A and B are shown apart, each in its own frame.
Chain A
Amino acid sequence: MLVLWSDVVVWLLVLSLVGFGWQLKRDALARERWRLVAQSHTALASSVILLWFVLIALADSIHWRTDDPYRPVVSVLDVALGKMATGQEKSYSAPFAIESLWKETRQTEDGSVIRAPVALKYAGTHLNDASEQATDIVQQSIFWLVVGAGLAAILVMLLARLRLFKDTDIPWRTAALTLVSLSALSAWLWGMGQSYHVLGTGKVGQDVLYETLKGVRTGMLIGGLTTLLTLPFAISLGIAAGYFKGWVDDAVQYTYTTLNAVPGVLLIASAMLLAQLYLAQHAELFASEQERADVRLLLVCLVLGLTGWTGLARILRAESLKLREMEYVKAAKAFGVSDGKIIGRHLLPNVGHLVLIAVVLDFSGLVLAEAVLSYVGIGVDPTMPSWGNMINLARQELNREPVVWWNLFGAFAGMFTLVLSANLLADRIQQVFNPRATRS
């Protein structure tokens, strides 16, 4: 068993989400609001998809060491994906191909030397002849789609028997449909991934679908952890500035204006350059590259978090300024209630919705930002599977002849699905929680 720092963080993140949900049970108003959120078809479907991403990230966050020198560290996801993870070819191959894209020089039986594609090691090996490929793909596809859909359908039915769907306002049908299609798709990808490279292979022969799935964890971490890191700063400083006013306000405003004044990319770049310097100087601290890449990922989150709290802090400051003039706050103050208690009882609960909205909005922006940072060379470690790194490689690949588009497509599909789901959910949350936006 090997515990990476980011694993801990992922689990903590999920646990805190669960805790947050538990908290909701007690708060009637919040529960009502979340019910409103869930009443939207898109929001519910998005939540199911996001949940699926979270599961993938979780499965990819339990690591242990192996004796295999090729793969010194593996995760549950690696094991679950089976041949997708282990079936590494030499170089590029197209989606569903059974022949390589690269050519090798070899001798034929009649003695002449040719340069031609070779049969892939891990794709279509069960076929007796290349002509069977098309039929095999169709047959397998049907099989896996049915299996996936069937399994999900059984699950839904079981849940229905448990009378989980009693709240009729919520469009359970949509959720069930999403779940069934998602499961069918997953089963298909997994099943086909065992005998073919569904999204082809990359430059060193790694399965692109596998890389894409591995990228989920990186994307989720960058989006989730960073937003979480910003919260303590933003909430404490923002509320303190608005509530206490005076020199506290001045100091906080001064701090965030200064941070904002430094161009974002440059601030991140400088911090990352220096962090890299530190990592390079202290290479002995890390037993494996994976651990080093892991620390670098956390550093990226930290740096992004350090620069990202200012926006929310400003909103919270303005809101606190407003709230402290409210009658009940003034009354509490007149009765001599301590500042800490006033903040805890009256201010914090009343800015909760703003924090929530900021979190969901920031999440998708950060997932997108990762790609840009990787492009500039100040993002996650280049050895780490991430969508940004895939896009980065894809530039060169588009220039090849024949064009290698699957890396770009994999990153695009993963990123688009995650960000779109997050955006749709964020939209609905904003509608419900922000009274000003409810009218549309």
Chain B
Amino acid sequence: MTTYIIRRLLWLLPILLMVNLLTFTLFFVVNSPDDMARAQLGNKHVTDAAIAAWKAARGYDLPLLWNSEASGWSMLSQTIFWQKSVQLMLFDFGVSDAGRAIGADLAQRAWPSLWLALPSFVLGLLVNIALALLLVMFRGQWLDKLGLVITVIIMSISGLFFIIGGQYVMAKLWHWFPISGYEPDGDLWRFLLLPIVLGVIAGVGAGVRWYRSILLEEADKDFARTARAKGMSQWQVMRKHVLPNGMLPILTGVVAVLPLLFMGSLIMESFFGIPGLGSYTIDAINSQDFAIVRAMVYLGAVLYVFGLILTDIAYAWADPRVRLGDD
């Protein structure tokens, strides 16, 4: 098991390397530091000297890959590639193009993201599974059919409509929630409840259908049929056989995305003014702050890889043979 995980780790490292190389090429070969400087310097009295000073302050005045003016080790290290990309590999995020320390901002913004994403995810999961169970229990009957129709309809509506509509009706017309904002000192739930609920609603269409198909597969297996034939009630079959067996694919799916929750929700955060990593990303894109975009790309890749490893562990843990031993 340990050697397996180490092997996987070694396999995943090149991926991070590649992601890093990819972003480096994208951002430094195609985009020039002069552009970044002008984008950040504003619009009054921007002179060449000012641009040069800006680049020097952020280390963008170095050569890309090889510093022929330096000597020895610094021929490699005094380059943009080393200063920006290799440092990034070591989780030294540096300073954003706007001039703030990215590391400090990330640490500060991860929490709001998590506070929004984790409850949304967990609640969504519970609601989706519960509804899917309900549909499976009433399979082929009108409730199931109605449920399927409703889920297709929800699936066919862009999430933006739920957010725009929900914010308009519940916050603006009914005064139930603050329209937007985030206040960790006060009662946080007042600010998070609306985005969480809307997030759950927007995801319920695809989610319920997905879990329904997983559970249906289990419900059609022989042991479930036998149990039903033996006179177990529908509810008991669900609880004793379908749900526990269905949990397996569900759980392995969950652990893969769990680390990515840190990245936050782009749309939710920017609609509801939650200062998390999602809105950080969107702001960085809008202001073309490539230092932040690069940092977020790398962070995302690391979390994704972490998710892959977690999935592997989950699979190993949930291996049928291991389970038999547990029973």
- A–B interface present (Cβ within 8 A): yes
Which chain A residues have a beta carbon within 8 Å of chain B's beta carbons? 254, 257-258, 260-263, 265-267, 269-271, 273-274, 277-278, 364, 368, 371-372, 375-378, 391, 394-395, 398, 408, 412, 415-416, 419-420, 423-424, 427, 436-437, 439-440
Give the distance in Å from the alpha carbon of A439 to the alpha carbon of B225 in the complex.
Answer: 15
Residues on B with C-beta less than 8 A from A427 are 152
Establish whether residues B19 and A262, one from each chain, have CB atoms under 8 Å apart when the complex forms.
yes
Dominant SS at the B interface? helix
> A269 vs B285: C-alpha distance in the bound complex, in angstroms?
7
Extra 16 A-B pairs, beta carbons < 8 Å, given A273-B285, A277-B35: A257-B15, A257-B308, A258-B15, A261-B16, A261-B300, A262-B19, A263-B301, A265-B281, A266-B293, A270-B27, A364-B155, A372-B159, A375-B267, A412-B158, A439-B216, A440-B216
- Is B160 a contact of A270 with CB atoms below 8 Å? no
Chain A residue, CB-CB nearest to B304: A261
Which residue from A394, A416, A436 sits with its C-beta under 8 Å from B164? A394
Alpha-carbon distance A412/B300, docked complex (angstroms): 32
- CB-nearest residue of chain B relative to A437? B213
Question: When A262-B301, A270-B293, A391-B160 are in contact, do A423 and B152 touch as well, CB less than 8 Å?
Answer: yes
In the complex, which residues of chain A have a beta carbon less than 8 angstroms from the beta carbon of B140? 440
For the complex, give the distance between the alpha carbons of A364 and B216 in Å.
24
Cβ A415 vs Cβ B23 within 8 A: no
- CB B91 to nearest CB in A, in angstroms, measures 16
CB distance from A235 to the nearest CB of B (A): 23
Chain B residues whose CB sits within 8 angstroms of the CB of A377 once the complex forms: 285-286
Contacts A270-B23, A420-B153, A424-B152 given; does A261 touch B301 at CB 8 Å: yes
Query: Roughly how many angstroms separate A436 CA and B213 CA in the complex, as a whole number?
Result: 10
**B285: which of A378, A391, A412 is its contact (CB, 8 Å)?**
A378
Q: Cα distance A23–B300 when bound, in Å? A: 44
Interface string of B139-176 (1 = CB under 8 A from A): 11000000000001101111111001000100000000
- CB distance A274 to B139 under 8 Å? no
Residue of B nearest to A267 (CB): B297
CB<8 Å pairs between A and B, sample of 18: A261-B19, A266-B281, A266-B293, A266-B296, A267-B297, A270-B23, A271-B26, A273-B285, A273-B288, A364-B155, A368-B158, A375-B267, A376-B286, A391-B161, A398-B168, A412-B158, A420-B156, A440-B139
Shortest Cβ gap from B209 to chain A (Å): 9
- Whether the Cβ atoms of B285 and A260 lie closer than 8 Å is no
The answer to whether B229 has its CB under 8 Å from any CB of chain A is no
In the complex the two chains form, is A371's CB within 8 Å of B158's CB? yes
A437 to B216, CA, bound (A): 10
Query: Complex: how many Å from CA A269 to CA B14?
Result: 23
By CB atoms of chain A within 10 A, which of B26, B160, B267 has the most? Answer: B160
Closest chain A residue to B155 by CB distance?
A423
Are A416 and B285 touching (Cβ within 8 A)?
Answer: no
* Chain B contacts for A376, CB-based, 8 A: 266, 282, 285-286
Task: Indicate whether B107 reaches chain A with its CB closer than 8 angstroms.
Answer: no
A375 and B159 CA atoms in complex are apart in Å by 12
Contact of B305 with A261 in the complex, beta carbons under 8 Å: yes
CB distance from B15 to the nearest CB of A (A): 5
Interface residues of B in 253-285 (CB under 8 A from A): 260, 263, 266-267, 281-282, 285
Question: Per a CB cutoff under 8 Å, which of A254, A270, A436 touches B15?
Answer: A254
Is B22 in contact with A262, judged by CB distance below 8 angstroms?
yes
How far is A391 from B296 in the complex, measured between Cα atoms in Å? 27
Q: How far is the CA of A416 from the CA of B217 in the complex (A)?
A: 30
Q: How far is the CA of A408 from the CA of B168 in the complex (A)?
A: 13
Query: Does B30 sit at the interface, judged by CB under 8 A?
Result: yes
- Contacts A258-B18, A368-B158, A371-B158; is A263 near B300 (CB within 8 Å)? yes
What 6 pairs between A and B have smallest CB-CB spacing?
Answer: A263-B300, A420-B156, A261-B301, A419-B156, A261-B304, A269-B285
